[in-house]
Amino acid sequence: MEKFVWLIPAFPLIGVLINLFFGRWTGKKAHWIACLAVLGSFIVSLMVFSRVMQGETLNYDYFNWIWVGSFHANAGVLIDPLSALMLIVVTGVSFLIHVYSIGYMHDDPGYPRFFLYLNLFVFSMVSLVLANNFLLLYVFWEAVGLCSYLLIGFWFQKKSASDAGKKAFIVNRIGDFGFGLGIMMIFVVFGSIQFTEVFGMASGASVACLTAITLLLLLGAMGKSAQIPLYVWLPDAMEGPTPVSALIHAATMVTAGVYMIARCHVLFNLAPLTQNVIIWMGMLTAFFAATIALVQKDIKRVLAYSTISQLGYMFVGVGLGAYTAGIFHLATHAFFKALLFLGAGSVMHAMANETDMWKMGGLSKIMKYTSWTFLIACLAIAGIPPFAGFFSKEEILGAAWSAHRYEIYALGILTALMTAFYMFRVYFLTFKGTPRYNVHSHHAHESPWVMTFPLMVLAVFSVIAGWVGIGTHGGSWIHQFLNPVFTLPGSEHMAEAGHSGSEQLLLMGIAIAAALAGIGLAWQIYLKDIKQSDRMAAQFSGLHKVLTNKYYVDEFYDAVFVTPIKNISIALWRGFDAVVIDGTVNGIGWFVSIIGQLLRYFQSGYVRTYTTMFVIGVIAVLGFYLTR
């Protein structure tokens, strides 16, 4: 397997290099290089996946990378069921997003640059997944952050886009600082950064030490996967092109944190305090983001808060020790969240980049393919069987119930109800009812096939992807496939606790009832009597204002962190930099200038002047000796 695994990152890297050096010539054909590169990665990923299904794994070092004293870091790959599953999800969904981008970005002047960035993003993410040591993981962890900055701020001429890119980059630096410290601590404690070596020695370390390490690693996951309190960058990331939103939210950056915790499950299993922090952080993030999504008008921002909420569910799963459930939801979420964002992009394409849902309506008659596929994605994320989201979300909620964390289960069900409500709020406001836009000025139309084809493929997987989770007591295919990764004692003890037949039916019934209640409430308010939403907003004006302004978290951060740091920086600039540093440098320059002004009288360039000075000098010397 080691003979062809390297092709998975190599293909998109080749695409990057071709469009980087020859983008002026590739021009509008840049997508051929980019799409074929990711398709090549996907095909090789399928080959790897088939080998893993046959029981083959690989931990192979290609070459020595860094060798300084006792510190050794190799460039190598780790292939097991977890990385194999991540590879096909990342490359498969990314390929569809690449194809969709051909239609969405066809008139953009930065066309080759856009596909270069997309390929770079895929290269970084698959390299992150393939890494077999912490330092290599960290390098591509940072590369993914760089790609997010480049793509979010792709339209850098627009201030809001460039600001959003900077915000994403800076907020992630906070989490990555902790992540880097965690890796340093791992080397200090274990003397190695290789996954297999560290995990093999983990049981010999103290609980306090492992708690410190895992909390630092968690800080990195909080930034990348947008969890409280480092979630604030993700809603603003909507300033980038819609395919970028789909790529970040579904297949790449935000899933990195969940993957990292699952990969390091050996460490997290031995740190119960960290696991409890993960559970509560994930659940509060899921609930908090869902409440904000209830009232947002921008279709992409609703989907952004939806992603934050669904990532919270994934963190609950891995925090409970139900790693398979967390990764299962990561995989199903990739399909229906990519479908939702690309569907929103299709709507924007038809509506001249309009994102306000209150200026839409009735689009299902015009955009049939987009409407039906978007509906499938809404049903999937709402948790309606037999769509994918039902099975993966039910796994996580069932794990909470089995672990007797009934408070987490109750919050999870309430969040699921809100999820169904705000997603069908989006669907009804966008596609149903009467048009709330000027039909004469907006010539709404269905998107071209290059955009609708990826929607249809993603819709199929949004229906069937969850079926791999059908089974009881860990007997489903997804459990059987991933269990070899999580076979250490306690790895899946909560997730596989199991339920009796009647208990399982009851839990399923509660989840379905919550989803149907949310859909029914959205139908009543936003389709049957749409004016009711205005009456409710007026009735609960205080709460509505707080939710509309996202709990004023951005304003709080700005007042407590951003403005004081900015003021301190300005004070240091004016007081220390301008006065001390510039004053010292300018003073030295002034002194040299004065010396130069004096010396210039002696360096006139006239021979007569030099002759006169020579004669005067000779006379002075002779006079000195004659008068002694």
Average pLDDT over residues 111-139: 96
Lowest model confidence (mean pLDDT) among 367-376, 403-412, 437-446: 437-446
| Ramachandran area for residue 604 (φ above 0: left; ψ -120 to 50: alpha; else beta) | alpha
pLDDT at position 496: 47
Please determine, for residue 288, whether its predicted confidence score (pLDDT) is greater than 80: yes
Q: How confident is the model at residue 128 (pLDDT cuts 50, 70, 90)?
A: very high
Contacts of 487 (CB under 8 A, 6+ apart): none
Please determine, for residue 500, whether its predicted confidence score (pLDDT) is greater than 80: no
Per residue in 517-554, pLDDT (tens digit) is: 999 999 999 999 888 998 999 999 999 999 999 999 99
CA distance 529 to 141: 48
pLDDT at position 1: 78
* Secondary structure, 3-state, 204-252: HCCHHHHHHHHHHHHHHHHHHCCCCCCCCHHHHHHHCCHHHHHHHHHHC
CA distance 365 to 362: 6
Q: Give the residue ranges of DSSP H helices in 6-153.
A: 7-26, 30-53, 81-104, 111-130, 134-152
Entry pTM: 0.91
φ/ψ of 61, rounded to 5, equals: -100, 125
Please determine, for residue 437, whether its predicted confidence score (pLDDT) is greater than 60: yes
Q: How big is the CA angle at 112 (ends 107 and 117), to the nearest 5 degrees?
A: 115
pLDDT at position 492: 42
Q: List the end-to-end C-alpha distance of the chain, in Å, as a whole number.
A: 97
Share of the chain above pLDDT 90, in %: 81
Contact 230, 222 (CB under 8 A): yes
Q: How confident is the model at residue 427 (pLDDT cuts 50, 70, 90)?
A: very high
Per residue in 164-177, pLDDT (tens digit) is: 999 999 999 999 99
Q: Hey, is 78 helix, strand or coil?
A: strand
Q: How confident is the model at residue 490 (pLDDT cuts 50, 70, 90)?
A: very low
pLDDT at position 489: 46
Which tokens in the block code for residue 391?
């099975």
Per residue in 19-72, pLDDT (tens digit) is: 999 988 888 899 999 999 999 999 999 999 999 999 999 999 999 999 988 898
Per residue in 305-355, pLDDT (tens digit) is: 999 999 999 999 999 999 999 999 999 999 999 999 999 999 999 998 999
Mean pLDDT of the chain: 92
**Other Cβ atoms closer than 10 A to 468:** 20
* Residue (of 273, 234, 241, 238) closest to 257 by Cα position: 234
**Other Cβ atoms closer than 10 A to 227:** 30
CA distance 372 to 356: 20
Please determine, for residue 494, whether its predicted confidence score (pLDDT) is greater than 50: no
Which tokens in the block code for residue 585?
């440098």
Please determine, for residue 480, whether its predicted confidence score (pLDDT) is greater than 50: yes
Average pLDDT over residues 558-581: 91
